[in-house]
Structure 1
Amino acid sequence: MLVVEDDPTVAEVVTGYLSRAGYATDHAADGFAALDRAASFRPHLIVLDLMLPGLDGLEVCRRLRRREEGPSVPVVMLTARGEEADRIAGLELGADDYVTKPFSPRELVLRIGSVLRRAEAAPPAAAPAQILRVGDLSADPGGRRAIRAGRELTLTSREFDLLLHFMRHPGRVFSREELLQQVWGWEIGDLSTVTVHVRRLREKIEADPAAPRLVMTVWGAGYRFDPVADEPQPEDGPPAGGGPLAGGGLRP
């Protein structure tokens, strides 16, 4: 695990708590050193401070995500900035979670553990998880891989969890509060976290993110995964299976 923090006192506290929790840790004090360390060994998770000398945490996250292939390294941002715009900027760059200073080291360890469990989750060997498919989109829960049109998608652990949740519950509307509880495991949290992750997921799985056909917004209610809408429809006549009300109602 890589801790990127320029304040030596904070770095010592964070690495100390993580070590006592059983995690092997390395430390980088600035953005350039963080990128070098991440390139020399692939950490299981990066604790990334936002305010860093050289390159700030947002730019470090941007460069990490740009050069990744396959599953993303989970990132938990650690920052003194509490403004919503800063949190959203980190989430849009692919951060999996954030903790705002001043923080409880115990809470940070718990949040890191939650992110790692989701990133490393695998089904029991005796009951392999079924690969989910919708058109040319597939998701493998065991391998934590998503593929569309023959190309593997680069998803963060939270984006992959969100995709699985949608694909396992097609046609059901989830509010942002429900998604925060069921995907993130948070009873209380910033609902913009869900909004940003839905936006990022659409950018990766939709043919046209500005006119989504898979992850639909249900105004005033939440989001619905609508797999039938992404399937080719005959040029003449109604969709197969009935008229406009087939499948449970009119589509937005």
Structure 2
Amino acid sequence: MTNPAIQIALQLQPQHADYATLRDRVREAEDLGTDIVFNWDHFYPLYGDPDGKHYECWTMLGAWAEQTSRIEIGALVSCNSYRNPDLLADMARTVDNISDGRLILGIGSGWFERDYTEYGYEFGTAGQRLDVLAEALPRIEERLGKLNPPPRRKLPVLIGGGGERKTLRMVARHANIWHSFSDAETLTRKLAVLRKHCADIGRDPAEIEVSVGTGASGEPAEVAGPLLEAGATLFTVGVGNEGHDLGQLKSWLAWRDSQ
């Protein structure tokens, strides 16, 4: 499998901060040479004060598209349940045009029950949500092909999740990037499953970039080494505490530049 260049992403979690702080961190991340800045698609904080400050995903991506000029941007990941798939395709196309072709369309089936119950969405079961995602992905692709103007490039699709029977089959068929929070042993096993799904449909697995979360601690060289050997090339640092300090991101960027 031919690996692309190592990339470092920041997931700037839109919680526990005023928007001015988030705006400043996006600017700082771009100035530091970060490859991608993601947010996430939730309505409440995932940790810390559960009723703390929080902002909506796609509105923010539109602002980032205007604010930035080099980095790629996207959601890690957009929840399929919250928007009609044709509407999501249109939103993604619009943000991609605003950014001059820098959007990554991250998508997943959804999991945070409070989002669903507070905002009036049917939560269902994990299997049902995955089935709905499988139905949505072809609709998104079809709508992207009809929109005028179209996206500025063929939108890279990132699918998040690690389910071997349903999610990885969708990754094989639809994704350009697969994201998980796997350790090296788990990643190796799941990549074998993904390669099997790719073989079933005649797709080259080298077309799919492998993305992993870096976790909360550990030296980048120690954390990344086994993951890099397993096949990961995109490493995402999550930041969501008060102040949104980028110290860990700087360490990962230094490691990337040393390779």
TM-score, normalization by structure 2: 0.30
Q: Which has the higher helix share?
A: 2
Higher relative contact order (CA closer than 8 Å, sequence separation 6+) = 2
